[in-house]
Homo-oligomer: A and B are copies of this chain.
Amino acid sequence: MTGIGDDCAVLSIPAGHELLVTTDFTIEKIHFRRDWHGPALVGRRCLTRGLSDIAAMGGDPRAAFLSLAVSNDVPQKWVDGFLKGLLELAEEYEVPLAGGDTAESAAGIQADIAVVGSVPKGTAVLRSGAKAGEQIFVTGELGGAAAALERMAAGSALGAEWSRYLHPRARVAVGQWLRQRGVASAMIDLSDGLSTDLEHICQESRVGAEIEAEAIPRAWAGRGEKRVAQELALDGGEDYELLFTSGASVPAKVAGVQVTRIGRTTKSLGMRLIGAEGKTRRLDAGGWEHFKGVR
């Protein structure tokens, strides 16, 4: 790579590859609160949002670009912590921070992350590839991030047992595995919540979906006594797990991450939730907002 500190970064993409590009805002008071979220955590999540979008295409992340605006009352220590968190994660995923922009903000902190990746031409896993009669899968466990946020809103301290929900991991290796083997017909990352992101796949693929409520892998709340409420697993955002459809057989673990079948796609449009006793109700997109009712 050349051109760092130049007008543009100059990058090479392997021959025969297509380019993937995604950008995501992380805004103080909208996506995080400085009194709840430490700077390193905010930095990690900022990059995770972009990496997770690359993962959802089955892509290789190649470089990240950070635009960061900070008002002059934000301590330099906060900015240092944010960058440390972001750069540590960038190193873990071997994604160089190749450029970006810095600016003064009028108030608070705004960060926009752009991540550039690539896939062999024609192999990107889109949202639009699902067919009726396929199985629906998710990675990991759902609702943990939303449950952690609920606890913070209630003023509870979060013990170490919450750490993995506060530090979601972009499922890059899982996405690549599924793409390389042609296993996933459609894929999306769970940033807005299962119900909302599943609706995106249904709409883009023109299929319906039936989800088995009991099959959803709900996150463990706190010290493992119980699982989070079904509503959080359905509508809670920011888990950054992958949701995908497949007509092939899928192992229970991919790249070390648990994969769970939660339902199937249907010819009949719309989304339905099948309860424990076989009762079916309509499932609507929950529309995750980060601090709904909390701000």
User: A105 — which chain B residues lie within 8 A by C-beta?
Assistant: 27, 30, 110
A126 and B2: CB pair below 8 A? yes
Distance between Cα atoms of A98 and B117 in the complex (Å): 15
Find chain B residues with CB under 8 A from A59 CB. Answer: 8
User: A100 touching B57 by the CB < 8 A rule?
Assistant: no
A123 smallest CB distance to B (angstroms): 10
Does B8 contact A54, Cβ atoms closer than 8 Å? yes
Residues facing B in A1-60 (CB within 8 A) are 2-3, 5-13, 15, 18-25, 27-31, 52-54, 56-57, 59
Report yes or no: A13 in contact with B10, Cβ–Cβ below 8 A: no
* In the complex, chain B residues whose CB is within 8 Å of the CB of A112: 23, 25, 67, 101, 112
Contact of A21 with B67 in the complex, beta carbons under 8 Å: no
| Residue pair B15, A13 in contact (C-beta under 8 Å) | no
Residues of chain B lying within 8 A (CB to CB) of residue A99: 21-23
**By the criterion CB–CB under 8 Å, are A9 and B20 in contact?**
yes
**Complex interface: chain B residues within 8 A of A66 (CB):** 23
A189 to chain B: which residues have CB within 8 Å? 7
Interface residue A149 (Cβ < 8 Å from any Cβ of B) = no
CA–CA, A2 and B100, complex, Å: 25
A104 to chain B, nearest CB (A): 5
Indicate if the CB atoms of A30 and B126 lie closer than 8 Å: no
Q: How far is the CA of A30 from the CA of B110 in the complex (A)?
A: 13
Are A65 and B25 in touch, CB under 8 angstroms? Answer: no
The yes or no answer to A276 lying at the interface (CB within 8 A) is no
Task: Determine the chain B residues whose CB is within 8 A of the CB of A24 once the complex forms.
Answer: 67, 101
A67 and B25 within 8 A (CB): yes
**Chain B residues with Cβ under 8 A from A119's Cβ?**
10
Q: Known contacts A22-B99, A105-B110, A107-B108; can you find 16 more A-B pairs with CB under 8 A? A: A2-B124, A6-B128, A7-B22, A8-B53, A10-B57, A11-B18, A13-B13, A21-B114, A25-B103, A27-B69, A27-B103, A27-B106, A30-B106, A106-B108, A107-B107, A114-B114
